[in-house]
Structure 1
Amino acid sequence: MQTALLFPGQGSQYIGMGQDLFTRSIVARRTFEEASEILGYSVSNLCFQGSEADLTRTDYAQPCILTVGIAAFRVLVERMEREPVYLAGHSLGEITALTASGALHFADAVRLVRFRGMLMRDAQKHKAGSMMAVHGLTPQVIEKECLEPEYRGLVVISNLNSSRQTVVSGQVNALTKIKERFTDLGGHVTPLQVDGAFHSPFMKNAAMQLYDELRLIPFHSMRYSVLSNVTALPYPNVNCIPSFLSEQMVERVRWQGCVQFLMERQVYNLIEVGPGSVLSNMLRREKLDACMIQSMDKKEYLQKLIKESLPKGNRAVSYAHYLKAALCAKNYNIHGETSNYLKEVAGPFRELEQLARSGDVADGNAKALEALNHILDCKMTPAIQRGGILSHIAEEGVVRHV
């Protein structure tokens, strides 16, 4: 059964998100720490003890959701039995998917989503906007209402999420009025936990500024194919990233189209990677009988994953084994520039060499594992090969990599 990984967007956040990952996994903990160093505040504190008001703020929510998603992905990727054939993310989740694919370095992604969140927040300073989900009405009926003179230009369809849910964005006053109209027509309306009219023309200036920022970021070859929200098709190449991500801010999110693309290609093993179960629940309501739908935010799934990942044995591992694994791992990064590749791997290699020369052993040492994982990232090592490398090291003793 072919696998796709799905990354949620804003609205999936909640107080306590990622805490199980942080507590149980060294890899996840390092991911949170890296994001905190970049942002200048504790991402873990904000995720675990922050207020609902703070986690609703776009400029805080987006880096936190990205961090939880990448932390979960890094834990999952070492234990996957098969490579995913596609990655897809809903709105912000598309950036998480691109990061997981290797197109964006995590540090660049954290800075990008912080900038994106600030742009989206600032876009609402003079025009208060929001979003709401509409259930029970077809997109055609909703579109017809949005085009009525009373709402034209003030409310638009922003997300085609499923056959059961369409999201609209617009000015708060107009949304309040049209909500009554949708209810009268037999629809059920749910306000979303966002502070802006995202994926609408209200984001035009923000989209232009985001495009300028995206043009400054280096992009890298993708290990996995990523679906675009704008086209509901895979990215043709990384050169499309600036235009697709900036267009996404003003265009509809075609999530239903992304799911349909996967179904048409019989990709039936769907794993939601990140906080909450918004995408999983949406898929279950579609009654996709052939699909296996899982969420890493479900405690039982995470516990099973982490339990299976703990290697047997009680001996420590020599740092030399990490160095040997890093040197022997095949380089799949054949499309990247050699100079950039060497620059990226030089530091981690030196760190492993210094640890190996120390003659000590790595009893679950996070530094050695982090350096090795960075090198495997640079080499674009597929999940299955990566899992084999780590399992081989585990056979030499105990490696508590989660």
Structure 2
Amino acid sequence: MSTAMVFPGMGPATFAEVGKFMVVNPFAQARLAEAREVLGYDVLAAFSRSEDAYTEAAQVAFVVNSVALADWARQTLDVAPVLCAGPSNGLRAATAFSGALSFADTVRLTADLARWEAEYFAQADNADLVTHSFVRTPQEQLAEMLDELGERGEWAEVSSYLDPGFFMVSLRERNLDWFKQRIRDVGGYSMYTMRPAVHSALLEPQREHAAREIYPKYSFADPVLPVVADHDGTLVTTAAGMYELHMATFVRAVRWEAVVRTLREQGVTDVCVSGSDNLFRRLKSTKTFEVLAVDPDRALRHRRTLVRR
């Protein structure tokens, strides 16, 4: 048996859903204390006041919880990963857990990126960029939809290839209703829309700013646990590779099946999905492994079981 630790991309997780875990779990308390020391404010309190799923405090809380749950799984469930993956925003937790950055630096980086993201998407040219997820849509018909938009002079691009028929597409919000209707026309089903947009070549200015103004403050190390790149499945084992992976996540689409292929090639049989997740653990390709879902609810249930004993 060989296990990979997978940190999922960030989906909406409110304080009401995860706050109790953050208050009572000792691993979460320890990571929160580190984050408070680094940022100079109470992350838990700021998160409890967040009105948006992707505020700075919400993004930091997601990293805190993902890493704390991995700590808990190692200590309590004897999970012993040989490598890790962090698709989309899960890369930040994977970076800390793998040892490529300290947890403190990962928290700082997450906060820096969240602040710049808010500023970037407040600009008029970028305010209407969204990423829409949907299922049961053949790739050939998706290509036709994108061609239709292109013929109208409108931009759109695939941001994530998650499973056969399951995609995320970035586009202008003014085209979203039309796009949803076209998905229905081919028998597909729309799921949710993310604001701001992610993983798109149109975000090259955001990547350039981050490379110039944010990342020079951080020094990556060779990861102790290799990290599987979410855009092509490359096994990243060097500090330079981790930096390039962070640069790629701004502009390269997530290709989850490439990650799965590499995990298979590396002999992985089990994956532990660490963090609030309603997506990656449920993908058909993920279910080809033995999946252990480690989320706040599981940690709380485990604690209640111990108390009853």
TM range, smaller chain: 0.7 to 0.9
Q: Does 1:176 pair with 2:177?
A: yes
1:214-253 to 2 correspondences below 5 Å: 214-253=215-254
Q: Distance in 1 between matches of 2:298 and 2:198?
A: 34
CA contact (8 A) 2:223 2:237 kept: no
User: What does the per-residue CA deviation read over 1:300-345, in whole Å, with 9 as the maximum and x for residues that have no partner?
Assistant: 465438977x9xxxxxxxxxxxxxxxxxxxxxxxxxxxxxxxxxxx
Is contact 1:131–1:196 with CA below 8 Å preserved after alignment? Answer: yes
Is 1:104 aligned to residue 101 of structure 2?
yes
Q: Tell me the distance in 2 between the aligned counterparts of 1:143 and 1:130.
A: 18
Deviations 1:272-321 (A, max 9, x none): 11123332122xx44835x221211163465438977x9xxxxxxxxxxx
CA distance in 1, matches of 2:79, 2:276: 23
Larger Rg belongs to: 1
Q: Deviations over 1:20-66 (max 9, x none)?
A: 4434433320211221333343222344x334x33243x34321211
Higher relative contact order (CA 8 A, sep 6+): 2
Question: What SS does structure 1 have at the residue aligned with 2:105?
Answer: helix
Q: Tell me which residue corresponds to 1:4.
A: 4
Percent of aligned pairs sharing the same letter: 21
The number of equivalent residue pairs is 302
Contact 1:156 1:168 (C-alpha < 8 Å) held by counterparts = yes
Question: What amino acid is aligned across from residue 83 of structure 1 in structure 2?
Answer: A
SS of corresponding position for 2:5: strand
Deviations 1:67-116, CA, capped at 9 Å, x for gaps: 11112122222245353122011211012101101110111111111222
TM-score (norm 2): 0.87
- Residue number in structure 2 paired with 1:114: 111
Structure 1 window deviating more from structure 2 (248-257 vs 229-238): it is 229-238
The structure with the greater share of residues assigned to strand is 2
Q: Report whether the alignment pairs 1:71 with 2:98.
A: no
Q: Which residue of structure 2 lines up, in the alignment, with residue 261 of structure 1?
A: 262
Note the residue ranges of structure 2 that are not aligned, 5 or more in a row.
none
Report the 3-state secondary structure (helix = DSSP H, G, I; strand = E; otherwise coil) of the residue aligned with 1:22.
helix
Per-residue deviation, 1:151 = 5.8
In 1, distance between residues paired with 2:293 and 2:231? Answer: 24
Give CA deviations for 1:100-148 in whole Å, capped at 9, x if unaligned. 0111011111111122222333332212111111211133331332132
Match in the other structure for 1:43: 43
Q: SS of the counterpart of 1:197?
A: coil
In the alignment, what sits opposite 2:121?
A: 124
Equivalent residue for 2:86?
89
Q: Which runs of 4+ in 1 moved over 6 A?
A: 305-308
Q: Which amino acid aligns with 2:191?
A: T
Take 1:270 and 1:230, find their aligned partners in 2: how far apart are those partners? 19
1:295 aligns with 2:266: no
Cα distance change, pair 279–211 in 1 and its aligned pair in 2 (3 A): same
- TM-score computed with the length of structure 1 as normaliser: 0.68
Q: Is the 8 A contact 2:135 2:189 kept in 1?
A: yes
